[in-house]
Each structure stands twice: as structure tokens, then as C-alpha cells.
Structure 1
Amino acid sequence: MGGQYKITGDRYPRMRPARRRGRLAVVAVACVTVLGVLGWGTLQLIDVFTGGDKANAAGAAADCPTTGTKASAAPAAVKLPKPAQVTVNVLNATTLTGLAQKTADELKKRGFRVGEVSNAPKEYDKKIKGAGILLGPPASLKTSLAVLGTQLPGAERQTDAAREGAEVDLMIGDGFKGLAKPADADTALTALAAPQPTPTAEKKGC
């Protein structure tokens, strides 16, 4: 070959094409991506077989906000005495004459037994500002006093640990306007014997 390019020696230069570096970089990135996907899939399989999903589900359920209410099972019906099994002493703590007898007659019509009809003892006489006080032994609080309370909802209920027997007192106060209407008293007594279910919080799905 002439001109400025002359070949000397006994070796000839090898003519190689230029390396395609861009293609190699793309291949390398693709390999890394494939390996990453395979690794993530392997971790997911491990989570499934080791219960990881259950733990995540439990955590998600705990984070769910509550919404609305759902009625729980109704409590067992309470065994209450019938009005005919409740003996009531009707005591007048007001200045109105004949109020105790009138109230006692009405209770008798509604099936209650009537015991003593008189004025209230000194510690209560003319000292009851409300509708009245229902007084009985501790055991009567959720039985006899509860039944009698359906006839006079506004009365205060009290117990006396030293009291003997099963009789209860209805002491009429200054705020007494009469007993509850018979229909309302019957409805209250029915509800008392069969309590309604208690609403409880309900969680919504997330």
C-alpha cells in the first residue's frame, strides 16, 4: 500500500467491528429486573406458607374503623314476682289527707297486695320532695322494688339492710301526681321481664 499508510513487519492488524456498548447495558438492566421480580415472588410465597397473610389481615382488621351497631344476644329473661306476690305498704309523707288510701286502692286494682296504709315515719314525713320513695330489703332491689317501680317510675329506690321480711314501702312525696297509667305500667313490666338486646359496635370491611 502506498502513500502515508505503510505496513511494516510480518503481522497485519486485525480489523474488528466497534463494540456495541449500548446493547450490553440494556441486557444487563433486563437481567437485574428479572432477578428482582423472581426474588419478590419468592418472598410472597414464603409469606403465604408461613402465615404472613394472616398477620396482615389481623392488622388490617384492627385498623378498620367502627361503623353502625349490631344487636348482641338478648340477656336471659329475669324471673320477677307477679304483682300479687308483692306486698306494699302505702305511706303518706305529704300534708294531703286520704292520698295513701286512694293510692292503695289503685294498687289493689292492679293486682298488688296492700299491707299497711298510714302516714310515713318521722324520718320521711314531709321530707320527700320528689314523687316518692320505694323502700325494701336489699334482695328486693331487682325484684319487688323493680316491679313496684313500673307503677311509679319517678320514685327513688332505696334499700335497708336492717329490714326484715319481703314487704316493700311506697312512700308518697310532694311531687306525687298519681300512679302511671295502667297501659304504660303494663308495658314497662313486660319490658322489665324480657330485656331487649344490647347494641354493640360493628366494624366495616376495609
Structure 2
Amino acid sequence: MGGQYKITGDRYPRMRPARRRGRFAFVAVACATVVGVAGWGTLQLIDVFTGGDKASAAGAAAGCRTTGASASPAAVAVPKPAQVTVNVLNATTRGGLAQKTADELKKRGFRIGDVSNAPKEFDKKVGGAGVLLGPAASLKTSLSVLGTQLPAAERRTDAARKGATVDLIIGDGFKGLAKPADADAALTALAAPQPTPSGEKKNC
């Protein structure tokens, strides 16, 4: 045979071109790159499933701040019944109801002021059990204490009213004061309220 595949007798003829060594080098580099990338990815996965979560949790905890009011309610000085003066006013057509109610309140420790019929603005105009009326400052103090004796009564305040005396205006739905045991339990709870959740909010 002649040309490139000429037989000289000292070696076997080559029937195909010589392989290029550059290809082997390229393949080797490519394999090394793939193995390196795969190893790096594996390390990242291990970090995520071990220390990465802990670090993220610690960062989140450090970055979150809790805001909101205290779980304990603000302390309010609740007066004792002996410190509360009550005017008992009858807005119904039933005679003697104001005096009877005033006597019962007195037995329970309250101080009694006026005992009479209700003024025109309330007379025969109270359909419920009654109305507890006092100055604005009495809403969480004297009115709350008086409210333990008649829980169904409506509570109102008058910003223009002076003094600390409160009114119990008896309405058509009045059937009597709360039972002494129930009223005492309500007074105890009022004097020592339990802490309530305040709706905390986390800012992250």
C-alpha cells in the first residue's frame, strides 16, 4: 500500500489517524470540574441540614422583637363598699322599691345617700333592671363596685357631674339585687383581677 499507509516491513501499518492527546486532557479536566462541583453541592446540603438551620434560627431570634402591653393589667384602686355612697332612685310605678333596695345595700356595707323617685329624665323610662350613673372617674371604681350588686344594670357616666356619689336607678326589669354570695365573689374578683394576655406582636 502506498501513501500514508505504506508498508515498510519494520512495523504494522496504522489504519486510522493517531489519537490526539489533547482530547484526553480536556476530558480529564471536565471530569475533575464535575466532581468538584458535586462535592461543593454536597457540603452545602450538609450545612443546611446541620448548622445552617441553627444559624438561621439564631439570627431570626435575634432579629425579632416582641412588642405589646404587659400581660398584667394596670393596677386600679378599687374602693370598698363602705367607701361608696349610693343614691337609690325608683323609676318604676312600684312603691317602696327604692327604700327596700337601699336597706339591702346598707346591710351589704354601702353608704346610702338619697332615697327617692327618679328624676323626670329617667322616671318610667328605664325598661331594664336599672341604670348605674356616676361621674366619669367612677366608671372603673365606684360604679364597678356597685355593679357587683346588680350586674344586669346599665352603666353610664356624666362628665359634668361632681363628687363621688353614684346613683342606682331602678328600672321596670328589676327583680332584686344579686345574691349575697354571688355579689361577694364578684367583689373579690374585682379587687384581685387575674392577668390576661395582651396580644403580643413580633416584629421580624
Normalising to structure 1: TM-score of the pair? 0.71
* Post-superposition offset of 1:35: 3.5
RMSD over aligned CA atoms reads 4.1
Unaligned stretches of 5+ residues in structure 2: 1-5, 48-53, 65-69
Residue by residue over 1:57-88, the C-alpha shift from the partner in whole angstroms, topping out at 9 and shown as x without a partner, is 639x99xxxxxxxxx73324421111000000
Q: Name the CA distance, whole Å, in 2 between partners of 1:30 and 1:182.
A: 90
Residue 133 and residue 55 in structure 1: after superposition, are their counterparts in 2 closer, same or farther (change >3 A)? same
Deviation per CA, 1:177-201: give whole Å up to 9, x if none: 1101111111111111222222367
Confirm or deny that 1:7 pairs with 2:8: yes
1:139 equivalenced with 2:173 (yes/no): no
CA distance in 1 between counterparts of 2:134 and 2:110 reads 15
Residue 111 (structure 1) aligns with: 109
> Taking structure 1 as reference, are residues 200 and 123 closer, same or farther at Cα in structure 2, changes over 3 Å only?
closer
8 Å CA contact 2:7, 2:13 repeated in 1: no
Distance, in Å, in 1 between the alignment partners of 2:39 and 2:199 is 42
Distance 2:123 2:111 in 1: 23
Alpha-carbon separation, structure 1, partners of 2:39 and 2:144: 71
- Could you tell me which residue of structure 2 aligns to residue 124 of structure 1? 122
Are the structure 2 counterparts of residues 42 and 154 from structure 1 closer, same or farther at C-alpha, using a change threshold of 3 Å? closer
| Residues in 2 aligned to 1:12 and 1:153: alpha-carbon distance in whole angstroms | 117
Aligned pair count reads 182
The DSSP-based 3-state class of the residue aligned with 1:199 is coil
- 8 Å contact kept, 1:77–1:195: no
5+ residue gaps, structure 1, are 46-51, 63-71
Contact 1:77/1:194 (<8 A) preserved: no
Question: What TM-score, normalized by structure 2, do the two folds share?
Answer: 0.72
